[in-house]
Amino acid sequence: MMQEESSIECPFCGEEITILVDVSVRRQNYIEDCSVCCRPIQLEVFFVKTTLWFR
Ligand SMILES: [Zn+2]
Check residue 38 and give its pLDDT. Answer: 95
- Ligand 1 centroid to residue 35 C-alpha, Å: 7
pTM over 0.95: no
pLDDT tens digit sequence for 2-55: 888 888 889 899 999 998 888 888 888 888 899 999 999 888 887 765 555 555
- Ligand 1 centroid to residue 53 C-alpha, Å: 18
Question: Measured between alpha carbons, how far is 5 from 48 in angstroms, rounded to an integer?
Answer: 16
Indicate the number of domains in the chain: 1
Q: Whose CA is closest to 14, among 43, 36, 31?
A: 36
Check residue 36 and give its pLDDT. Answer: 95
22: phi > 0 → left, psi -120 to 50 → alpha, else beta; which? Answer: beta
- Ligand 1 centroid to residue 43 C-alpha, Å: 13
Answer yes or no: are the C-beta atoms of 11 and 26 closer than 8 Å.
no
Check residue 50 and give its pLDDT. Answer: 54
Answer yes or no: are the C-beta atoms of 12 and 23 closer than 8 Å.
no
Q: For residue 8, what are the domain limits?
A: 3-54
